[in-house]
Amino acid sequence: MLILQCPCCGVMADETELAAGGEAHLKRFGPGSSDDDFESYLFNRVNPKGVHFERWRHAYGCGKWFHAARCTATLEVFGTYSAQVTEPPQEIRDKISARRPGWRWREFG
Amino acid sequence: MSTRLTGFGRLIDRSKPLRFTFDGKWMRGHPGDTLASALLANDQMLVGRSFKYHRPRGIVASGAEEPNALVNLGKGGRFEPNQRATTTELFEGLRAESQNRWPSLDFDIGSVNTYLARFLPAGFYYKMFIHPRPFWKHVYEPFIRQSAGLGRAPKDRDGDTYEHFHTHADVLVIGGGVAGLQAAKAAADTGARVFVLEQTAHWGGRAPVDARDEDRIAGQGAADWVAATVAELEAMPNVTLRLRCMGAGVYDHGYVLAYERLRDHAPDATGPRHRLWRIRAKQIISATGAIERPLSFAGNDIPGVMLASAVRDYVVNYAVSPGDRTVIATNNDDAYLTAIVLKKAGLDVPRIVDARAQGGGALMEAAKALGIRVDTGRAIAKVKGGKRVTKVQICAQAGEGGVLDEIACDAVAMSGGWSPVVHLWSHCGGKLFWDDAQAMFRPDAAHPPTGADGQGFVTCAGAASGALDMAHVLEDAHAAGLAAGKAAGGKAKRTKAPETTARADAPIEPVWLMPQGAKVELRTKTWLDFQNDVKVSDVQLAAQEGFESVEHAKRYTTLGMATDQGKLSNINGLAILSDALGQPIPQTGTTTFRPPYTPISMGAIGGEARGVVFQPIRRTPIHGWHEAHGADWEPVGQWRRPYAFPRKGESVHDAVMREVKNTREALGLLDASTLGKLIVKGPDAGKFLDMLYTNMMSTLPVGKCRYGLMCTENGFLTDDGVVARIDEDTFLCHTTTGGADRIHAHMEEWLQTEWWDWKVYVANVTEQFAQVAVVGPNARKVLEKLGGMDVRAEALPFMAWADGRIGDFDARVYRISFSGELSYEIAVRASQGLAFWEALMEAGAEFGAMPYGTEALHIMRAEKGFIMIGDETDGTVIPQDLGLDWAISKKKADYIGKRGQERAHMTDPGRWKLVGLETVDGSVLPDGAYAVGEGLNANGQRVTIGRVTSTYFSPTLGRGIAMGLVKHGPDRMGEVIDFPGTDGKTYRAKIVDPVFHDKEGAKQNV
């Protein structure tokens, strides 16, 4: 059972307090988008073994959504950060680089 | 025979007798006995039958690894199957029954299977029972189900209570042997908060049994050192010690489940029976010891063949001799300890058969000095006997099993070496490596399970890390304790492990088959998994048939899949598999270790969450009134809603018919408080709701209501309800009863993660209001009688709302209707809900007021062709399927689900669409029935062209009515289609308009 720190209220929250929200930093495609873009937005996920970015909600706590950067293989948590960004902040990327030099995740790395 | 000895017995209290029964027969034991030791003391070696061949099974081990001695315990609310006799402490009046035998343990019909063994090899399920196809379901499976399986499932409700405890620890030590105690001491000395768990009722583990007379720890005998160290730990304020508490599983980020058996040994004491500890530990030390491996020789499953370590446990701990004449078979020095103990107890050890050509070290010399004959380079060719060992045949280990000698005996003590208990290390990803010299898988300290910081959080100590002699055990444990204490924030201390006596052992020689060239007739009698009846020949067959992965071979043969999860069989089995594949053992690898270490009770997992607290019920402010008035309840989400209010002598169906009729003709009251109510507020609230609903909400005038549909991004309909505009910036969105929390979360998700710059707040006020639907031709009359605000059509037209007073109550009145009748839904403060309801009932009496339930609500909405989320929708239905195009804005550039609904499959004209269905004979269509068309599909079944989504008897129309989704339905009005029922009848129904009653809507708009 993971422990993630909620960046909104600061609580070190057990996974039972949290609700998983799937892959982070998806770009929404609405009317007018191509079938490929829409399919990719709705269904295609990278599901990596290693560095990953996820959405979580502190559902049984402050109720706020946030992002987490962690390693799906070792369960190392590189950091949690605001839900209100479209890409991982530099500070988080630096933390990952320190632990996993040369990491790649989608277009980031 | 096995019997009680006069000497030894350090754990039993001979001064007190205990009485217990086994298969109805009264037996005697002592406090401190396990059920297994007490059975052996009563010469009950035969304790069960094996799973597949129903072979006689005796006690093999003395602890959690026992594969055979599984019994039914207790009766009634305390009945429990598959309890291990070796870990069951004896108490006065204990009732045990053997399992998997019929009619009796001694005479079991199923043992005929042993003669059929030739026809029941690995994978026989898949090979034998595949043809003819229908036979599996109707003949083979019922037969196999009846003859296989271990204990019976309990019938009665569990009579005991259980609880959960939550705690945090700096260092959690699992295992209370000398390694665990030393590690705990070292960690506690750093100042860390230490928690120590021991699964048995005693501290010290194997050390007090295995120590020789001359062995010393810090100058003390092993038992004295254990007692002194436990006393020291008990005196430390930062240490908690728990006996009878097993570390069951290690999970992500230092989470551990521990299973404490509080009352299994004292069932009449008060308090919970089991306690599940949910522990968060910064560091975990797994000091879980090692388990001795059996040797693979023919007849190694015959009762009387036991692990060498178990034999000496029974003698030393419980003063029980498993046999009068015990032959020892080994490939390492440890088993010599058993020979020495037996000899000291005055028992006969006719032979030690050591597979190693050179034999053992100092312990061998000690055994020889006691006059025991040792044969080196020898093996057991075969054990003879039926329900008990009678003799063994000896052969050369290097040969194929040619018999050199025969020895009469009634017990065999075997040792194939030791396997560290690496389960807890492995649960969360710790890696193993193969240690050739010690012939064991050991934890690879360089690849531990890692925590949130990326660092290891589990360390193995003592035998669990592969240290087998006492000096290594204590040094290893001490270092582990210090390191864990420091890693958890303690202060580093320069302390040392205690001094110990060295034991000069000769090295082990791996022996995976005895003799190494055993012929097939021996291999088919050589057991690997005693509980699941897997033999050496089965694993070899699996390899031959191409099941080369250890995970495949396991599932094909069922090796290690029994309740003991292969604690004795796994390593031997994968060694045989490796040999058959001609590859080294580490290349084969192990199967996955999964929690729990040994089975834990379902009661403990549930804890306090049972009965009324399993899932708390949500109650409306009017719930108590419904209860007092005989409501027949229906669960809706976490709420209970009245399904109907049957009167005395009235059936539920009749009550529903009466409620519909009364509401249509006079006045019905519905408790609608469970409907979700979400306030959406802010300058961007209109813009936000335009994205959430398929229709336009931003244009809704203040004071008006509008029905809206909500879809997922996939386009599928997910919720519906009426939205009221309270003021320029404020909307009140009604959701379905079950949807309030989900839709609230849905709104929050979009606001927080996509449109976080939009100025909108959402608040769930569902429980802040009680809401009553006042429905029927007399609805206005009762409100006017109560007095207050103007509720005439001119002041409050259909689909408008207003705040005001109704009688003595502040009220918000919505003119909305889900029944097609003149209807007011009135919200009052939750605290006023019951009083308001009672005032309506009282004032409404003269107008025929009656409460109605959810079934009447459903029928009335179906008569009007209104859809219900969850009936007409199932997560694959889009609003267009339901003819709701009028509620989808054509003007909006975007809303959630719009792009999804533009996909080719969603715009396919062949989609099933909503229609009304009228049976030709007026009967009621079966719920969920499928309509069939012409032709067959690829599976030879009739083509389906639609299905029933809602079906009722309409008292208004006096006939069955239904709604359904039908291919090209709206274009086929008047056609009759067939619905084959599961009862063999075919129901015929005409496709009609889904609005059955008052098509013009004249009744609601008055």
Nearest-by-CA chain B residue for A100: B454
* pLDDT score for B106: 78
Would you say B685 and B760 are in contact if contact means Cβ atoms under 8 Å apart? Answer: yes
Beta strands (DSSP E) in B849-941 are 849-851, 912-919, 930-936
> Residue type for B230, please?
V
Q: B750 pLDDT band (50/70/90 cuts)?
A: very high
- Within-domain flag for A54: yes
Nearest-by-CA chain B residue for A35: B903
Q: Determine contact: B252 vs chain A, CB below 8 A.
A: yes
* pLDDT score for A66: 98
B311-339 per-position pLDDT tens digit? 999 999 999 999 999 999 999 999 999 99
Would you say B5 and B321 are in contact if contact means Cβ atoms under 8 Å apart? Answer: yes
B219-239 per-position pLDDT tens digit? 999 999 999 999 999 999 999
B373-391 per-position pLDDT tens digit? 999 999 999 999 999 999 9
- Test mutation, B168, B279, B450, B753, chain A, max A CBs within 10 A: B753
Would you say B878 and B718 are in contact if contact means Cβ atoms under 8 Å apart? Answer: no
pLDDT above 80 (res B146) = no
- Within-domain flag for A33: no
> Residue type for A10, please?
G
pLDDT above 90 (res B271) = yes
Domain architecture of chain B: domains with CATH: 1-158 (3.10.20.440), 162-291+419-487 (3.50.50.60), 294-416 (3.50.50.60), 506-588 (1.10.10.1100), 623-674+768-860 (3.30.1360.120), 676-763 (3.30.70.1400), 895-992 (2.40.30.110)
pLDDT above 90 (res B109) = no
Q: Tokens 């007073």 belong to which residue?
A: B805
B539-544 LR contacts (CB < 8 Å, sep 24+): B539/B122, B539/B573, B539/B576, B539/B577, B539/B580, B540/B576, B540/B580, B541/B121, B541/B122, B541/B123, B542/B122, B542/B123, B542/B577, B543/B577, B543/B580, B543/B581, B544/B580
Q: Determine contact: B714 vs chain A, CB below 8 A.
A: yes
pLDDT above 80 (res B468) = yes
- Within-domain flag for A62: yes
What residues in B contact A32, CB-CB < 8 Å?
899
pLDDT above 80 (res B140) = no
Which residues is B954 bridged to in the sheet? B959
- Within-domain flag for A37: no
* pLDDT score for B612: 87
Which of B73-82, B339-348, B708-717 is predicted least confidently? B73-82
| Nearest Cα residue to B44 out of B87, B95, B1, B101 | B1
pLDDT above 70 (res B711) = yes
pLDDT above 70 (res B452) = yes
CA distance A15 to chain B (A): 10
* pLDDT score for B126: 65
Q: For residue A86, give the 3-state DSSP assignment.
A: coil
| Cα B12 versus chain centre, distance | 36
What residues in B contact A33, CB-CB < 8 Å?
899
Which tokens hold the place of B281?
């530990």
CA atoms within 13 A on the CB side of B717: 27
pLDDT above 70 (res B740) = yes
B272-313 per-position pLDDT tens digit? 999 999 999 999 999 999 999 999 999 999 999 999 999 999
B791-838 per-position pLDDT tens digit? 999 999 999 999 999 999 999 999 999 999 999 999 999 999 999 999
Tell me what the pLDDT averaged over chain B comes to: 94
- Within-domain flag for A12: yes
Cβ contact, residue pair B902, A31, below 8 Å? yes
Rounded to whole angstroms, the Cα distance separating B222 from B229 reads 11
> Residue type for B753, please?
T
Rounded to whole angstroms, the Cα distance separating B403 from B374 reads 17
- Test mutation, A15, A25, A28, chain B, max B CBs within 10 A: A28
Q: For residue B317, give the 3-state DSSP assignment.
A: helix
Q: For residue B683, give the 3-state DSSP assignment.
A: coil
Cβ contact, residue pair A65, B748, below 8 Å? yes
B507-542 per-position pLDDT tens digit? 999 999 999 999 999 999 999 999 889 999 999 999
3-state SS of B368-420 is: HHCCCCEEECEEEEEEEECCCEEEEEEEECCCCCCCCEEEECCEEEEECCEEE
> Strand B823-829 and strand B769-775: pairing?
antiparallel
Which residues is B120 bridged to in the sheet? none
Beta strands (DSSP E) in B234-304 are 239-242, 245-251, 255-261, 274-286, 290-292
B339-361 per-position pLDDT tens digit? 999 999 999 999 999 999 999 99
Segment B924-949 shows an average pLDDT of 95
Counting residues of chain B whose pLDDT is more than 90, the rounded percentage is 89
B8-64 per-position pLDDT tens digit? 999 999 999 999 999 999 999 999 999 999 999 999 999 988 888 888 999 999 999
For chain A, give percent helix, strand, coil, nearest 5. Answer: 20, 30, 50
CATH number, domain of A15, equals 3.30.2270.10
| Nearest Cα residue to B60 out of B380, B304, B298, B292 | B304
Cβ contact, residue pair A77, B452, below 8 Å? yes
Which has the higher per-residue pLDDT, A82 or B102? A82
Within 10 angstroms of residue B893's Cβ, the number of other Cβ atoms is 10
- Within-domain flag for A57: yes
Task: Name the strand (E) or helix (H) holding B167.
Answer: strand B162-174
Count structural domains, chain A. 1
> Residue type for B738, please?
G
pLDDT above 90 (res B5) = yes
pLDDT above 70 (res B942) = yes
Q: B204 pLDDT band (50/70/90 cuts)?
A: very high
pLDDT above 60 (res B148) = no
Structural domain of A77: 3-25+46-99
Q: B244 pLDDT band (50/70/90 cuts)?
A: very high
B555-600 per-position pLDDT tens digit? 999 899 888 889 999 999 999 999 999 999 999 998 899 999 999 9
- Within-domain flag for A88: yes
- Point out the residue among A1, A28, A31 whose CB comes nearest to the CB of B754: A28
Segment B910-926 shows an average pLDDT of 96
pLDDT above 80 (res B122) = no
What residues in A contact B894, CB-CB < 8 Å?
30-31
Q: Determine contact: B908 vs chain A, CB below 8 A.
A: no
Distance set, CA B714 to CA B779, B902, B1002 (Å): 41, 10, 37
Cβ contact, residue pair A75, B452, below 8 Å? yes
- Within-domain flag for A70: yes
- Point out the residue among A35, A42, A75 whose CB comes nearest to the CB of B253: A75
Would you say B685 and B892 are in contact if contact means Cβ atoms under 8 Å apart? Answer: no
CA distance B709 to chain A (A): 18
Cβ contact, residue pair A59, B749, below 8 Å? no
Distance set, CA B966 to CA B877, B908, B972 (Å): 12, 14, 9
B601-641 per-position pLDDT tens digit? 999 999 999 988 898 899 999 999 999 999 999 999 899 99
pTM listed for this prediction: 0.92
Q: A93 pLDDT band (50/70/90 cuts)?
A: very high
